[in-house]
Structure formats: structure tokens, C-alpha cells
Structure 1
Amino acid sequence: MKFSICLSTILVTLGISVNAQLTVTEPRTDHWWVAQSLNTLAWDGSTPDQFSVFLSNSDTNVLTSLLALTSVTYAYDRSKTINPGGITPSGGYTILLTNPLNSSDVYAKSETFEIKAVGSNYPAQVSAPASAASGSASASGSATSTSSSSGSASPSEKSSGSSKLNVSAGLVGMLAALGGFSALL
């Protein structure tokens, strides 16, 4: 019992959210997708740790039912490149992050957004606000990946990923050290 309280205290002290609920950050109203193209799905949060991704539209003349885009996606990925295929260009689309075993159990829902016709331009890139530069996900990092179909990550995405790895590796080492101390408690 003492060990779990100490571990939670350490994680909170390090600024790591223990119960970060999922929120969809892209697409959104001002960041649309393009049909038959590579688009970015991005999210924040880590709870639950895995989910399925569905595309929805309230207009059944546009999309008659939910369209599965991924069966299992891991929250630690933070973004995924998605090609929605030959979807009808229209507004009113939303992304649903759901329980992989029960798609009616919705963990998070995106803002309503538009899917534009093949060949349309992506939205202009926006600079990250000064407050977002402190380590949280920003629109500029993921917008960079949507503007290129090469699939390679931008330098900021690469450094962001490696710093997450360094933090994770440090946590694993710290937890291993604390595990040795748990016998003393």
C-alpha cells in the first residue's frame, strides 16, 4: 500500500498524469481531411491505453454506418496516418475512439470536421502557441506530417519522440530502483 502511494506521488511530482483521458486533437473544424489522401489523426491522453478508431457522419446519405479505420490503436502513439479511402467529400464527419471490444463504448469524439475532395489543399500550418511549446502536443507538429505524403517525421516530431523515450526509460529505471526498496517498506 505504501509503495503504490509513493509511486503515484512520484509520477505526479514528475508531471506525469496518471489518469489522462483521451481527447482527439486532429481532425477538427479548422483542420479538415482530404479524401483518398494521407491524413493525421492525433490525440492526447493515455487512458485507456488502446482503442479502435471509427469515422462517423450524422447524415446517413453521406455515410450509412460507422466506418472502421483501425481495429486496435495504442494511446502512446499520439498520432496515426489515416487514408479514409473513397469517402464522399462532405461536412459533418466525426472521429470516434472506442472500446476495441464494443464500438458503442465511446472514449472520445472529435470536433465535427469536413472531408474535402481528392486533390484539395490541406489547411495552412499554424505556429504552436508559446504555452504549447512546453512539451504538450501541438497542432504544428502534426500538421507538418499531413503536409507531406512521404511518411517521414519532422525533426520536432523525432526529438519529441526521443524525449518521451528518455522519460520512459528513466521511469523504468526509477521504478526498478523503487522495487528494490519495496522490500524495506
Structure 2
Amino acid sequence: MISDDAGEFGKAVDGSQLARGRILDWFHIAMKFKTAKNSVFGSQTVEPHERIAIETEIDHAKWLVWHGKGRQSVSRVRALDATLLAKEGYEYSRLYWNLRRLYFYIENNAGTLVNYGMRYRKGLPISSSIAESAVNLVVSHRMAQKQQMRWTDEGVHCLAQVRVAVLNDELSVEKLAELTMTSAIANSTSARRAA
């Protein structure tokens, strides 16, 4: 399963027979690196001639993650951060915060990093962006306020559960009864709160 570091996905696949592990979405990793690299350009504490060296160091750290070497990448970004700490005012800059976010993100998700380059060359997915954009298109269209046949929040949740069960070949009469019962309980609880 490919996802970002949000905890909802772990809960969503608990008990699934098909989900074997989680892979950190490459898109989210790349965005963290891009944010760090962009903050080099705007940093007042970095001299113009140093920017290229710092950007190159960030690119090398990204290359390491792409090739499944997350721990080495964290070490490289930490070393860069330690070097920059000698500069006056660095700890108050966007670059400081973005580098820290980057290495904590990679370090905290080290167990979900894979060799993205190898997966890409084999034609395996490295990002969930295609699925996310399709979901956003369908759901946002049906959830729009001015839509005539607008879905409720509970309806979308139930539909998503049924669709996941179908895709995982886990939909059965018992599973459908369980989803219906769960939905009925949730609706009666929310109805009592509203009253």
C-alpha cells in the first residue's frame, strides 16, 4: 500500500488480506525535498556562492532516498544542518525549519522507504497520485454544495468501504451486513446527538 505518513491508512487496511505493508509515497518525499531546496534560494543567511553547494547536497540526499538509502540521506541532511548552524541567524530561517522537517520525515518513515528507482524501472507504482486525483475528481464532484444529487459524509464513507471490499475480493453477504450495521449504529448515534 502506498501512502503518505498519515495514520488513517493503517487503520483503513487493518484486517485486509491483501495489504502486506506500507510504502511511503514518492510524491510526498519529493515535495519535502523541493520545499527544502526552495528555501535555500530565499535564505538570508546563505551567501549566493554557497547556494549551489547546499542545493547540490540536498539533491544528493534525495538521490539516496530514491535508491533506498534513507538512513544515509538522513545523515547527509543532518550534517548539512550542523554545518549551517555555525551561521548567525540560521536557526530562525525557513531553511532551518525545512531541513529539520525533511530529516525528521525521512527518519520517522525509514521503515516504509524502498528502492524507488528499482520499482520505477520495473513499472511498479511509486506514488498514489493517480488514485488520489481520481478520487478527488469523483468525490469533489459529488460532494459539491450545488450538486443536485449530493452525497452525505456517511454515504461517502460507506461507499468507500464497499468499494475497497470489492477491490480486495472481500465483499460477502456477511461483510455487507457488517457495513450496514456499522452505518446504522453511526447514524443512530449522530441522530441522538443532534436531538
Fold-level similarity (TM above 0.5): no
TM-score by length of 2: 0.26
Higher share in strand: 1
TM-score by length of 1: 0.27
